[in-house]
Chains A and B, each alone.
Chain A
Amino acid sequence: MLKFIDTVGEAVAGIKDGSTVMIGGFGNAGQPFELIDALMECGAKDLTVVNNNAGQGDQGLALLIKEGRVRKMICSFPRQSDSWHFDAKYHAGEIELELVPQGNLAERIRAAGAGIGGFFTPTGYGTTLAEGKETRLLDGKWQVFETPIHADVALIKALKADGKGNLVYRKTARNFGPIMAAAAKHTIVQVSEIVPTGSLDPENVVTPGIYVNSVVRVSGSSAEKVA
């Protein structure tokens, strides 16, 4: 059941300790900062977080990591010039890291949403990131078996939602949003604008509302209820 929620705090209130949480964004583009801040305040801990990176600077995901809320990161690129909170936890042995090539990360998330039990991909064959994984020679290429990444919750950012939860994004801020929305049991979206049902061209809907559970508008006043 789709819900329009007034505040980010209410939107994330149901996230339990030990959850796997997907967080959209590539760098700052598409990062749902307000939802991440609300997750921080709601106090959920022992989280497994799926994101391309492992937090930047002193905001958002980096703070969740700093405060010890994240037990495990599943990501492709944790090491950045300003990823000091992750670096410290990693060197202290206080956070687990599952490092995944970026395209495998995306496809494993997609597979979860699409009900695929696993897939063979050439990416990573012959590297340390494929160690211990099943391999097969398919179509003349050695390929590695990869499994889906499911999540309890996805926190993503879109530009607009309509009353059915259909989403459109903006430029490269789309990145992981559509696939995370499909992969999680419960998808929470922050949008800049909620528009009346029927005002989005159905040809241009990127994420159909079936994948969306909660919508919260973050800029300006509280979410308008639209039907």
Chain B
Amino acid sequence: MILEQLHQHNNITIYTLNKIVLTQFKNYERETLDFIPEFNVLTGKNGVGKTNVMDAIYYLCMSKSYFGHSDRQISKHGCDFFRLAGDFTQGKKTLKIVAKVKNGSKKEFEKNGRKYDKLADHIGLLPIVFITPDDNSLVRDGSAERRKLLDNTLAQSDAGYLQHLIRYNKLLRQRNAALKKFAETRQVNHALLDTYDQQMAAPAREIFHFRKQMTSQLIPFFQEQYNEISAQAETVGLSYKSALNDNDFPSLIRAAREKDIILQRTTAGIHKDDLVFTIGDYPIKQLASQGQLKTYIIAIKLAQYQVLKSIKKYPPILLLDDIFDKLDNQRVTALVQMLVKRDYGQIFITDTEPGRIRNIIKEKNAMVREIERV
């Protein structure tokens, strides 16, 4: 078991999920799955719910679905309740995490039988990175997806970040509602806008610094990961685009006020930030090949993995869903061999063909467990 030797050698405490029990989660009535600390390959035909198991693992770590499915959508059809239980170990410690979600009541998360007061307190305890074909939206869709990448990474690495973000977003929603109300009553309360602007300034400043720093932490890892999987020497880049790069928040939002009043929403602030992806000197959007794009996106996600690992001092869980989708065999082989070679933690991969992953890594002495779903 080469991974364990590696970890012991580097003095890293690996954390692993040993068992998960799904109750009325998506298509599962009740299912218990056992895992090993190395490679876990979930095989089965399309539509059997492999991705749902991955999302269940993600849910236990992040207290929500990776795909943005609401709790109501997650409950098995016709049920108003679902439950997830995961047995984790970290070094000699055992952690039992339980999620109980019932329609119409507050969702509950427990750690070793103790209920969390706030879900936010759980985020970051069990770092996790999920790579899925859905990640194409990082390039294809609007800036919200890219902010989500930064927010997700920061929320898992710093408890304070989430507090600032929650505060900013609540104030933003109130400010927008106030702007709507002013339009209805045709009366603008400038003093109230002053109040929101002032209250938002401190969290905006914090979020800006966090995001800026995170972007620069991601860049070297991104370059390294990209070169490794693509075997190309191109320079890839990330830059953080924010109006706060050139302005302070109070003057930014002050300058936008007249526009905000007309449009009835807050048009400037860190909720407009973006990440710019480049390759060579060009924006990534101009890339033609699907394979190249895929490699690019996987490299970004692996950079996220490496950043979290360097901050947490232990490797996150890595979920790889359907990587054979649009990636040729050669690229997948390179990727999987890299995952075996380096000190990654526990890995979960889904594949429609049993044995394919095992064939790639057969010469390496790593453990692979295939979990068949029919």
Partners in one complex: no
